[in-house]
Amino acid sequence: MEAVKRLLEFFKGRGEEVSLTVTGHSLGGALALLNAYEAASSLPDLDHISVISFGAPRVGNIAFRDKMNEMGVKILRVVVKQDIVPKLPGIICNKILRQIHALTRRLKWVYRHVGSELKLDMSLSPYLKREFDLLGFHNLEIYLHLTDGYVGKRLKFRWNARRDLALVNKSSDMLIEELRIPECWYQVPNKGLVFNSHGRWVKPCRDQQDIPSPFGEAPKLDFTA
């Protein structure tokens, strides 16, 4: 958050409007929500804060939801109908409690979702298998494929969707056999090892952030010797 604060001060000093959008998938979506909460709490000079999450679980209780709404954080939750993760935690408990909502709606220990929901359905895509696959339902590429083909509620999958279908099987086996795309086809060259200047195959250090910073680059550490 300190890096965001420095960038905020820099661009505000130039008289620019600054917004922050945080996104993530699964646990990353939950962390995106928490990061947005921290930003809204500690960086009041931000003009807009928004979150776009994919397949994220519930994070907080009703007090957390109300606080996020009070702070004006805009949240879009993209969920797949068949995915179990957005129903957690509390998949059974919350379902029962909804039946007696008038009595339980203010209970502070019940997990609640925050923001607006965009619900996608795997059955709307003519390219996906109709098999039961918990891991496949939660795959980020499935989310991106369905988002690309989404037109509206109860409308057919967009015929001119542009995202490459092969990406769906990058790390899964969810495409219909007629497309002849092999399952889990993506492989990292040399399983991620690089040949360093000392003639050894080693794991590379993490890359620098690809977002330019007005403060210059951080020193690069080399652990490949």
Residue 138 annotated to the active site: yes
Residue 66 annotated to the active site: no
- Active-site residue, selected from the candidate residues 25, 26, 53, 125: 26
CA-to-CA distance for 52 and 204, rounded, in angstroms?
A: 31
Q: Are 76 and 52 in contact (CB under 8 A)?
A: yes
CA-to-CA distance for 82 and 91, rounded, in angstroms?
A: 13
Q: Are 182 and 169 in contact (CB under 8 A)?
A: yes
Query: Cα 195 vs. chain centroid, distance in angstroms?
Result: 33
- Active-site residue, selected from the candidate residues 25, 53, 125, 138: 138
Residue 53 annotated to the active site: no
Please state at what angle helix 27-42 crosses helix 62-70, rounded to 10 degrees: 50
3-state secondary structure of 78: strand
- Active-site residue, selected from the candidate residues 25, 83, 145, 172: 83
CA-to-CA distance for 30 and 196, rounded, in angstroms?
A: 37
Active site residues: 26, 83, 138
